[in-house]
Amino acid sequence: MRIGALAARAGVSVRSLRYYEEQKLLVSTRSPSGQRHFADDDIARVVLIQRLYAAGLSSRTIADLLPCVDAPGAESADAALERMAQERERLSEHITDLVRTREALDAVMATARTCREGPRR
């Protein structure tokens, strides 16, 4: 499929796909006229890349992890697993921080509601 079709089916911009290709996260073949062509499997890959970006991983980290996705059990699996464990720990810490922030916000909101209601008689 061409780049526009992949973008539409994966829910991303064409510009994002070009960036992923530039970062070596995604690979296309070229037609004789130079148009990019992608496989159907690339939809799932783009969705995975988007999720990893949304989780805060950098393109460099994603590039380090993708060989393990592409060929489980490859020589790079140990390094990729270590990197994934580090990223998982970072995400867990971030989730803990977000929960604390939400709890603090809940407390401020409760105080604001009490103030808005005014003194009770």
Q: What is the pLDDT of residue 42?
A: 95
Query: What is the band of 76 on the pLDDT scale with cuts at 50, 70, 90?
Result: low
pLDDT at 75 over 70: no
From the list 87, 67, 86, the residue with the least C-alpha distance to 77 is: 67
pLDDT at 121 over 80: no
91's tokens: 């995400």
Instruction: Quote the strand ranges of the chain, DSSP E.
Output: 29-30, 36-37
Q: What is the pLDDT of residue 71?
A: 74
Instruction: Quote the strand ranges of 5-109, DSSP E.
Output: 29-30, 36-37
Counted residue by residue, the chain has a size of 121
Instruction: Output 120 or 16, whichever has higher pLDDT.
Output: 16
Provide CATH code, domain 1-54.
Answer: 1.10.1660.10
Q: Which long-range contacts (CB under 8 A, 24 or more apart) does 65-73 make?
A: 66/25, 69/45
pLDDT tens digits along 16-33: 999 999 999 999 999 999
Domain boundaries, given as residue ranges, for the chain: 1-54
Instruction: Output 89 or 70, whichever has higher pLDDT.
Output: 89
